[in-house]
Amino acid sequence: MTQTDLEKARKLVEMARGAEQQGQTDESLAFFDDAIALIEHETDLPFFADVLRWKGTVFREQGETEAAYRCYEKSLAHAERIGAVGAQAHGFNCLAIVAQRRGDLRESESHYARAAEFAAQAGDVRLLGMIEQNRGVLMNVRGNFAAAEARYSNSLSAFEQASDDEAVSWVLNNMGMLYTKLGHYQRAVETLERGLEIAKRRKDALVESVLNLNLAEVWAVVGKLELADESCNKSLAEARRRNDRLTIAGALKCRARIERERGAFND
């Protein structure tokens, strides 16, 4: 591979991530595939592990869990083969997310522990913040809400220190959902709206759609159905544009709840 090929691959990845942010999933995957074709025969290139992982995350956010898992496995295998510590940390973190989605919490916790170990070796504070956030999600699933809030707060501080607005918006989304579960509705609204402001400023269609959906859930709980309807419709429209099946399902469920609160299903 020539230096020109590597530069082309990096440019394609930049285009892929930009397309992903704008909700252009097919275009994003195509750009990733073109980049992979340029570098897949390079046996000592850590960047190849990164590209595979980023492609996997596009699949994951579309609900294509098995396709994501295959990309993550290939990414981690390559990282282990060349001894890329940081890429191994990312790989284990992503596999932990997949295990959690499958409901295998023990495997998820094990992968997160390995991810944190490698991230510490790499001295990657931002990645440790990411892992801390994901461990917060796991604590939330287990019902340990105090531990979940503490891990989210640690993660938020790390991402703010790193000036990573994208990551900040995701943590705020998770914190908002936790506050909703705990019945702290005002804190939930404030947290989700802060995240929404960041997503809008970044023109991040994916995060904006997810935040709108979770905000709609809060508005529905507190009986502000017009606001709930507005946020839900925004989320659903964007999810349909992206063909984001997970968010579409969530938005339709939220819409049903709103209509039920209005009495649409009463005899």
User: What are 6-25's pLDDT values in tens digits?
Assistant: 899 999 999 999 998 888 99
Distances, alpha carbon 76 to alpha carbons 64, 104, 140, 255, in Å = 18, 19, 27, 39
Is residue 34 a contact partner of residue 12, using CB atoms and an 8 Å limit? yes
- Count Cα atoms within 13 angstroms, Cβ side, for 172: 26
Decide if pLDDT at 186 tops 70: yes
pLDDT in tens, 95-143: 999 999 999 999 999 999 999 999 989 989 899 999 999 999 999 989 9
C-alpha–C-alpha distance, residues 74 and 85, integer Å: 15
Please name the residues in contact with 150: beta carbons below 8 A apart, sequence gap of 6 or more. Answer: 136
| Structure confidence by residue, pLDDT tens digits, 49-59 | 999 999 999 99
Copy the structure tokens of residue 236.
């659903």
Stretch 243-253: mean pLDDT: 90
- Condensed to tens digits (0 to 9), the pLDDT of residues 232-241 reads 999 999 999 8
- Contact assessment for residue 108 and residue 92, using Cβ atoms and an 8 Å cutoff: no
Distance CA 110, CA 93 (A): 10
Q: What is the pTM of this model?
A: 0.70
At residue 144's C-alpha, the angle toward residues 68 and 139, to 5°, is 20
Return phi, psi of residue 162, to 5°.
-85, 0
- Helix and strand tally (H, E) in the chain? 13, 0
Q: For the chain, give percent helix, strand, coil, nearest 5.
A: 85, 0, 15
Structure tokens at 113: 């522990």
pLDDT number for residue 14: 95
pLDDT value at residue 267: 52
